[in-house]
Chain A
């Protein structure tokens, strides 16, 4: 249910807000104790009545396209390029989670969320032993992204 909501909002965001064509989606419960990441990853912690981490991970080309769209085509100064990219990555997961929250258990009431944290060029994220990882890979014409939920009570 939580991952389904995240997938739906991700697709709607890409298609309707960013006008990016979305292709196949594949979902898996990750068996191993770690989540494989793409080149650029942002995550938000959800606490309070829910306890989970929402993680979004982008192929480089897709994130670059999102940066272009967020910047309305304006050039990014070289000394700001990394920060802009991280900022866009964080805003995307922030937007998706915000829109998905009302469809979470208890309509997302009583939860707290952290500011997004962005990591680059990391290949894996290791989970706590009792946590489950549910992940979806979404194909677009600019590359793939994965949207994942990590927690003990993920359905």
Chain B
């Protein structure tokens, strides 16, 4: 089970991500609505994973990533973004984020994004792929 911090200025997105994370068996330890809250929340809660929105008031997600990484180089931050912000995603990765998800967020997208960062949660692409692997073995 991962301890996760959600960072998004949209209440509906925070609710949605929380629901998905809990369905996947993870615990949401803190929710922040802007970059500054994210920085403070990270220090207080030391989450295993952060989901971070890019466009937020007061302090955006990229700036928050830079600050969090500066304090903890091992921080695992996945950006959550809309289409049309690909340039921002690249900047986020350059700042230290380890991955990204495009909205709308689904259970599968979240599971895949987490699996790419935490190998113990990696998922097979689908059952057919797993079946093919098993057939080859047999």
Contact = CB atoms under 8 A, between A and B. Distances in A.
A binds B: yes
A115 B9 CA distance: 8
Interface stretch (B11-19, B42-50, B120-128): B11-19
A10 interface: no
Interface stretch (A90-98, A133-141, A145-153): A90-98
Interface string B39-68: 000000000000000011100000000000
Interface stretch (B24-32, B78-86, B92-100, B129-137): B78-86
Interface stretch (A24-32, A33-41, A80-88, A121-129): A80-88
Contacts of A87: 10-13
A34 B76 CA distance: 46
Most buried by A among B11, B12, B55, B83: B12
B12 A70 contact: yes
Nearest to A70: B12
A83 B11 contact: yes
Contacts of A114: 55
Contacts of B103: 91, 94-95, 98
A72, A83, A87, A99 pick with most chain B CB within 10 angstroms? A87
A88 B84 contact: no
Contacts, number: 54
B12 A98 contact: no
Q: Is the interface of B mostly helix, strand, loop or mixed?
A: loop
Contacts of B115: none
A100 B55 CA distance: 17
Contacts of B84: 97-102, 108, 113
B94 to A, nearest CB: 17
A80 B11 CA distance: 9
A17, A95, A98, A108 — which one has the most chain B CB atoms within 10 A of its CB?
Answer: A98
A114 to B, nearest CB: 7
A84 B12 contact: yes
A8 interface: no
A109 interface: yes
B115 to A, nearest CB: 23
Given A102-B84, A108-B84, A91 B9 contact: no
Contacts of A83: 11
Interface of A: 17, 70-72, 80, 83-84, 87-88, 90-91, 94-95, 97-102, 108-109, 113-115
Interface of B: 9-13, 15-16, 19, 55-57, 82-85, 87, 103-104
Q: Which 9 residue pairs are nearest across A and B when measured between Cβ atoms?
A: A98-B82, A101-B84, A98-B84, A87-B12, A98-B83, A87-B11, A87-B10, A99-B83, A83-B11
